[in-house]
């Protein structure tokens, strides 16, 4: 009888804890929705297609911010993903055992550095480098592409993308490493016993086995990049703009919120920023949800 | 005809010697069983035949193994080439989880950019699955993933995968120890039929199995070969006291 009661209490606590998280997410969403209502009512769909951001006439378009967020995050993923896979393969498959631990440790430390520090590095070291070396170099060899037109200012999409990529490498690489290391030995031995070379075993067997997990790691990294605020604000240039050229300055959802929240006067302005937050919330939610769905489908398909 | 000849083979895990001065010959197109108590080194010996032992960190091998008069431990021999001639079936089915049954069977050909026509692939897959006695059961579900099969079926697809590349020797490491009696029976049947095609070396814990399927039996104890002989001789008239004690169940 007594034991039964304990079980019930424990079950209650566990149930409450998990419900609490779900409720928290739900109320967060509802709260954002309520606050953004004036903005939704005033701008409607134009909020998403208007490029103009003018506090004086109270005309607010979110397109530059949405565009900037997506461009910088995808750029970050494009840079960070292959590097992270390389790091993960090196640590799990190739590095001598004495090197594995210190390497993983250092990479995990990278993830523990506050984003402000990455922002400072981006602004003081990387931005001049982009302006004087990386930018001109890219222009020389890839200048025919629309992405590398114009004059590199130092701050802008490219710099923000690079800073973000460094910030998400620890996330993607340490997750991928764990996933690679979790591929059973017997899968590798099966490959070797069939006469595969080490590279064939790594590429076709280990990565093949781990692909949905690695995909998920990439998506988690992307999620982190989408939501990153401080570092991006420091290097994005903060100019409401939509440009294909990666050298251009721009804004992201997070940078707009950070820059304008403190001095947001009037209900409409606050509501606009709330709607931006809502958009970010939905974008991340959607991407994570799609990734989850895709992975689940994969696993069940087996 | 001897297919494999082992000369003065020693093997270690770190500082622990697991094989001591092994000398033995294995006949072509015969089934040889390696028996002995747990930890006697029988699996290690098997894994020396396709140079898999040395992949374990800290593991080391010394000595010679001749496959048709070529020493596979010669410096210039590429272990990858050895493994293409000597197939292996493991204790537990280890089909590639992320590949369909069809792709698993053909996996040995997906490597080193071997290009095969669709017809040729279909042919290889069917022939191998038939050889392994599993074609009828899986022919309509070749695009399924291995997890849709039972353990016994998976193990027979593993045999098909090993046979697909037409190895000269097939190593089997306790291939039925994780399976139920019916699957075991089917696989033993398969093994006996395969004798026409390849030289088979099977490690087994199960003495009845050795007696049922093999032509020759090797008895190992504490990293050494104690006795080698025809299976009927080993089981009816062992020369060594140790062999007799083991097969009569006094230890092991």
Helix (H, G, I), strand (E, B) or coil at B94: coil
Q: In which band, very low, low, confident or very high, does the pLDDT at A89 lie, cut at 50, 70 and 90? A: very high
Helices (H), B37-173: 42-49, 79-85, 101-110, 118-131, 135-138, 151-164
> By percentage, how much of chain B surpasses pLDDT 90?
80
Q: In which band, very low, low, confident or very high, does the pLDDT at B112 lie, cut at 50, 70 and 90? A: low
Residue A300 has pLDDT above 70, yes or no: no
Residue A25 CA to residue A276 CA, distance in Å, equals: 17
For residues A273 and A259, the answer to whether their CB atoms sit within 8 Å is: no
Q: In which band, very low, low, confident or very high, does the pLDDT at A299 lie, cut at 50, 70 and 90? A: low
User: Residue B57's pLDDT is what?
Assistant: 87
Which residues in chain B are closer than 8 Å to A192, comparing Cβ atoms?
52, 55, 83
Residue A206 has pLDDT above 80, yes or no: yes
Residue ranges of domains in chain A: 21-301
> By percentage, how much of chain A surpasses pLDDT 90?
63
Q: In which band, very low, low, confident or very high, does the pLDDT at B10 lie, cut at 50, 70 and 90? A: very high
Name the DSSP letter for residue B230: E
CA A268: distance to chain centroid?
29
Which of these ranges, A227-236, A288-297, B56-65, has the smallest mean pLDDT?
A: A288-297
Mean pLDDT of the A270-276 span: 93
Residue A21 has pLDDT above 90, yes or no: yes
Residue A272 has pLDDT above 80, yes or no: yes
Prediction ipTM score: 0.92
User: Residue A54's pLDDT is what?
Assistant: 85
* First-to-final CA distance of chain B: 32
User: Residue A291's pLDDT is what?
Assistant: 80
Mean pLDDT of the A48-77 span: 91
User: Residue B246's pLDDT is what?
Assistant: 92
Residue A167 has pLDDT above 90, yes or no: yes
Q: Domain range spanning residue B228?
A: 2-247
Contact residues, A window 159-218, toward B, CB-based 8 Å cutoff: 184, 186-187, 189-197, 200, 204-205, 208-209, 211
Could you tell me if A7 lies within 8 Å of chain B, comparing CB atoms?
A: no
Do the domain assignments include residue B14? Answer: yes
Which residues in chain A are closer than 8 Å to B81, comparing Cβ atoms?
195
* First-to-final CA distance of chain A: 44
Please state, as a whole number, how many other Cβ atoms lie within 10 Å of the Cβ of residue B158. 28
Residue A302 has pLDDT above 70, yes or no: no
Do the domain assignments include residue B114? Answer: yes
Residue B133 CA to residue B146 CA, distance in Å, equals: 16
For residues A172 and A221, the answer to whether their CB atoms sit within 8 Å is: yes
Q: Tell me which residues of chain B have a C-beta less than 8 Å from any C-beta of chain A.
A: 50, 52, 55, 57, 80-81, 83-84, 87-88, 90, 92, 94-99, 107-108, 110-112, 145, 147, 158, 161-162, 165
Do the domain assignments include residue B252? Answer: no
- CA max distance for chain B: 57
Residue B203 CA to residue B137 CA, distance in Å, equals: 27
Nearest to residue A80, comparing CAs of A202, A171, A210, A178?
A171
Contacts with A283 (C-beta within 8 Å, 6 or more apart), sequence order: A66, A69, A70, A226
Residue A155 has pLDDT above 60, yes or no: yes
Q: Count of domains in chain B?
A: 1
Residue B75 has pLDDT above 60, yes or no: yes
Q: In which band, very low, low, confident or very high, does the pLDDT at A97 lie, cut at 50, 70 and 90? A: confident
Mean pLDDT of the A222-242 span: 92
Residue A301 has pLDDT above 60, yes or no: no
Q: Per the CATH hierarchy, to which homologous superfamily does domain A21-301 belong?
A: MetI-like (1.10.3720.10)
Residue B176 has pLDDT above 60, yes or no: yes
Q: In which band, very low, low, confident or very high, does the pLDDT at B116 lie, cut at 50, 70 and 90? A: confident
Residue A1 has pLDDT above 60, yes or no: no
Query: What number of residues does chain B have?
Result: 252
Residue B204 has pLDDT above 90, yes or no: yes
> By percentage, how much of chain A surpasses pLDDT 70?
97
Which of these ranges, A1-5, B32-36, B44-48, has the smallest mean pLDDT?
A: A1-5
Mean pLDDT of the B229-250 span: 92
User: Residue B250's pLDDT is what?
Assistant: 82
Class of residue A44 by CB neighbours under 10 A (exposed 0-12, middle 13-18, buried 19+):
exposed
Residue A181 has pLDDT above 70, yes or no: yes
Between chain A and chain B, the number of residue pairs with CB atoms below 8 A apart is 66
Which of these ranges, A45-59, A74-88, A157-171, A247-261, has the smallest mean pLDDT?
A: A45-59
Predicted confidence (pLDDT) per residue in A111-128, tens digit:
899 999 999 999 999 999
Q: How big is chain B by its Cα radius of gyration, in Å?
A: 18
Residue A241 CA to residue A287 CA, distance in Å, equals: 24
Residue B91 has pLDDT above 60, yes or no: yes
Residue A41 has pLDDT above 60, yes or no: yes
Q: Find the CATH number of the domain harbouring B62.
A: 3.40.50.300
Residue A218 CA to residue A224 CA, distance in Å, equals: 10
Helix (H, G, I), strand (E, B) or coil at B237: coil
């Amino acid at each position: 009888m007594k034991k039964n009661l304990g079980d019930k209490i424990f079950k209650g606590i566990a149930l409450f804890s998990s419900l609490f998280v779900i409720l928290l997410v739900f109320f967060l969403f509802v709260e954002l929705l309520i606050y953004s209502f004036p903005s939704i009512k005033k701008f409607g769909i134009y909020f998403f297609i208007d490029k103009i951001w003018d506090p004086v006439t109270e005309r607010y378009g979110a397109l530059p911010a949405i565009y900037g967020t997506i461009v910088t995050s995808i750029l970050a993923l494009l840079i960070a993903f292959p590097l992270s896979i390389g790091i993960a393969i090196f640590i799990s498959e190739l590095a001598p055992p004495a090197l594995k631990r210190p390497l993983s440790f250092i990479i995990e430390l990278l993830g523990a550095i506050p984003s402000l520090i990455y922002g400072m590095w981006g602004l003081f070291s990387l931005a001049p480098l982009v302006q004087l070396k990386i930018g001109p170099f890219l222009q020389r060899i890839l200048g025919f592409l629309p992405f590398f037109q114009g004059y590199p200012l130092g701050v802008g999409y490219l710099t923000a993308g690079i800073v973000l990529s460094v910030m998400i490498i620890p996330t993607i690489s340490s997750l991928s490493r764990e996933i690679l290391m979790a591929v059973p030995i017997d899968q590798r031995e099966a490959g070797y016993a069939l006469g595969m070379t080490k590279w064939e075993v790594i590429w076709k067997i280990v990565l093949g086995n781990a692909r949905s997990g690695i995909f998920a790691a990439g998506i988690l990294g992307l999620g982190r990049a989408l939501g990153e605020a401080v570092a991006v604000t420091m290097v994005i240039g903060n100019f409401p703009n939509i440009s294909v050229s990666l050298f251009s300055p721009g804004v992201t959802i997070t940078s707009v919120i950070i820059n304008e929240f403190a001095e947001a006067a009037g209900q409409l302005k606050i509501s606009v920023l709330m709607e931006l937050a809502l958009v970010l919330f939905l974008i991340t939610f959607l991407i994570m949800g799609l990734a989850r769905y895709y992975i689940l489908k994969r696993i069940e398909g087996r | 005809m001897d297919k494999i000849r082992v000369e003065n083979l020693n093997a270690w895990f770190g500082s622990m010697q697991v094989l001591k001065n092994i000398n033995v010959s294995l006949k072509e197109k015969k089934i040889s069983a390696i028996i002995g108590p747990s930890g006697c080194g029988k699996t290690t010996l098997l894994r020396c035949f396709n140079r898999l032992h040395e992949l374990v960190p800290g593991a080391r091998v010394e000595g010679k193994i001749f496959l048709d008069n070529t020493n596979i431990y010669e410096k210039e021999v590429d272990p990858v080439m050895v493994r293409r001639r000597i197939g292996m079936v493991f204790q537990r089915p280890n089909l590639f989880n992320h590949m369909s049954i069809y792709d698993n069977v053909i996996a040995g050909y997906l490597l080193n950019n071997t290009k095969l026509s669709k017809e040729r692939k279909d042919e290889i897959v069917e022939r191998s699955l038939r050889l392994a006695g599993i074609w009828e059961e899986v022919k309509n579900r070749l695009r399924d993933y291995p997890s849709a099969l039972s353990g016994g079926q998976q193990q027979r697809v593993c045999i098909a995968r090993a046979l697909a590349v037409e190895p000269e020797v097939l190593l089997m490491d306790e291939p039925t120890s994780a399976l139920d009696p019916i699957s075991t029976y089917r696989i033993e049947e398969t093994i006996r039929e395969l004798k026409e095609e390849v030289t088979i070396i099977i490690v087994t814990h199960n003495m009845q199995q050795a007696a049922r399927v093999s032509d020759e039996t090797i008895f190992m104890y504490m990293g050494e070969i104690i006795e080698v002989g025809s299976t009927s001789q080993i089981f009816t008239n062992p020369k060594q006291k140790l062999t007799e004690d083991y097969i009569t169940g006094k230890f092991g």
